[in-house]
Amino acid sequence: MNTLFQVGITLALCSHLTNADMTHETQTIIDFSQKMNALSVGVTNDGVMGGLSQGKIQMTKDKTLCFNGNLSLENNGGFSSLRIRGKKWNLKDWKGICIDVKGDGRRYGFRITTDQRYRRSNVSFTADFQTQKDTWTTLHIPFSAMKASWRGRQLDREFNPAEISGLGMILADKVAGKFNLEIRSISTWR
């Protein structure tokens, strides 16, 4: 089941250095505490394939995006994903993505879609990351770590950061139960 809503997001126009890692120049591409330039944010659960997982998104009182729910392995299920669309990003001059997240100790995947297609559907480029329970962490994911796939099938494709059309998260760790991931911002770094 797809749940879509519009969330206010701003694009920062100037670069800045983060306190978390002064060796990287960063540029914020999505800051969930800002209310400008609405993008389409939604959840796709395994119900599209008969599964019973239930994921949802909501803005918190702290102005973060919360992606949470219950992962079910019944009926060949086992995934819930968050998708952000509505803008094209050309990040060819950058090395990767920074994400400020507070997790639940589970392993998630950060996903990027580009203009690449396979069997008339978007190819996903994913890099997995481990969260720390109830702790804010700044993750640095290099573009070189992004691996191409289509509906779980690995593909031999090269990632092009100049043609990004979507960003997101996926939980597909094959562990049934509740999940909770908060996202404060998504930046690019070099």
Residue 121 has pLDDT above 50, yes or no: yes
What's the whole-model pTM score? 0.83
49 phi and psi angles, rounded to 5 deg: -120, 15
Average pLDDT over residues 59-72: 96
pLDDT 10s digits, 125-164: 999 999 999 999 999 999 999 999 987 788 899 999 999 9
Is the pLDDT at 16 greater than 50, yes or no?
Answer: no
Q: pLDDT tens digits, residue range 25-39?
A: 999 999 988 864 668
Average pLDDT over residues 58-67: 95
pLDDT over 80 (residue 19): no
pLDDT > 50? residue 9: no
Taking the alpha carbons of 78, 106, 168, 82 in that order, is the dihedral positive or negative?
A: positive
Please tell me the predicted confidence (pLDDT) of residue 11. 29
CA distance 146 to 133: 24
What is the pLDDT, as a whole number, of residue 39? 85
Name the more confident of 53 and 150.
Answer: 53
Residue 17 has pLDDT above 50, yes or no: no
Q: For each of the domains in the chain, give its residue range(s) and CATH number, in order of start.
A: 2-170+183-189 (2.60.120.430)
CA dihedral 97, 99, 104, 106 (to 10 degrees): 0
Question: Above 60 in pLDDT, residue 184?
Answer: yes
Tokens representing residue 98 in the block: 């920074």
Measured over the CA atoms of residue 175, residue 57, residue 170 and residue 72, the dihedral's sign is positive
* Residue 38: predicted pLDDT: 66
